[in-house]
Amino acid sequence: MKLNVNRHRIAVRINWKYIAIGLAVLPFAAVFVAWLGFFNIGAASGHWRITELFLQLAMRSAVRTYAIGIEEPEAFDRGAILPAAGHFARGCATCHGAPGEPRPAMVKAMLPRPPRLERAVHAWDDAQLFRIVKRGIRFTGMPAWPTQMRDDEVWGMVAFLRRLPDLDPEEYRNLAYGPAKRSRASGFNGSFDAALAGCARCHGMDGLGRSAFVPVIAGQHRAYFVESLRAYAAGERASGIMELAATEADRKLWQRLAEYYASLPATEDEQSAADAERIARGRRIAQYGVPRRDIPACLGCHGRPDRNPVYPQLDGQKRPYLENQLRLFAEGERGGTDYAHLMTEFASRLERKEIESLAAYFASRQVQRGKAE
């Protein structure tokens, strides 16, 4: 009896030894097999069913896990949907399609095949959609958002995706293309008209902006316009939406685009709902600054007729846009020109109510632009 027990123990020890050796050799064997090229990486044959199920499980579980703790905004601001729609048409619809726009045939040969989002978004909650849009998904061709510093843009895209299943082709085209309403099939041909139509998706042909989150660029100085495009294209000013738009337009056309929008008249944006006390508080800060916190008067730079041409005109700008830009400066997430660090320093000392007051004040100011040079 003792002999049998001892033999069993010896056998167990030998088996564990073999297992340990096998585990040690396995990585080298895998590398050797990969080097031989026996594994078929072609997309035409697709995955084995068990492989596809495993990858889907891994992807969905990872998204669910990493979405835990993402703080969702109380409510999506619908003004952010319009620029998100323009970005979707540029960067997403080619693979995912859009209402009234079929996908190219080559997309059907991709592995995995990108889903039609009108049908797929219901499978994810808002936090999970945010995670997918911001971080992308490896091994699928789904890229991350062009910048990781603009959560507000990502939430705008989530809001657009929630609305996408209910859009008919005409509604989608109006959101994504604006007054030009070009079809995706017409493409970008490098001409000035095509570049202008790309800008007009969000800014309008009149340069007044088609939503509260799109700035007024009519009447802005040419130097500021060109410098902003350069900063977006170089990734120095964070915006996933504008980075793609700036790189899509030929750099040779930037000056012509600047001349076009600089020549347009800017009308006063209606701010009748703005509280008079808030505007008065913003006026005091703009005129005198906040000396005890070393915040200078805003009008010292932005209100002078002989100001530096790369300082933007703020009069008549949209209040939500100004609030958002000041918040980005305060959080160190807004770059751009060589003078952006000054705004980062001063904005970081502003309190939330002061940011709201300054935005309301400049939005309420009568536009006095004159002809931009």
Per-residue CA distances from 317 to 153, 222, 358 (Å): 19, 17, 11
Domains belonging to the chain, first-starting first, are 51-187 (1.10.760), 276-364 (1.10.760.10)
Q: What is the pLDDT of residue 100?
A: 92
3-state secondary structure of 290: strand
Neighbours of 108 (CB within 10 A): 9
Over residues 218-268, the pLDDT tens digits come to: 999 999 999 999 999 999 999 999 999 999 999 999 999 999 999 998 765
What confidence tens digit (pLDDT) does each residue in 105-162 have? 889 889 999 999 999 999 999 999 999 999 999 989 899 999 999 999 999 999 999 9
pLDDT in tens, 28-66: 888 888 888 877 888 888 888 998 999 999 999 999 999
DSSP state of 101: B
Cα Rg for the chain, rounded, in angstroms? 27
How far apart CA 353 and CA 275 sit, in angstroms, is: 12
Distance CA 88, CA 94 (A): 9
Query: How many angstroms separate the CA atoms of 323 and 213, rounded?
Result: 10
Whether the CB-CB separation of 297 and 287 falls below 8 Å is answered with: yes
Q: Which residue has the tokens 């799109």?
A: 214
Do 109 and 44 form a contact (C-beta atoms < 8 A)?
yes
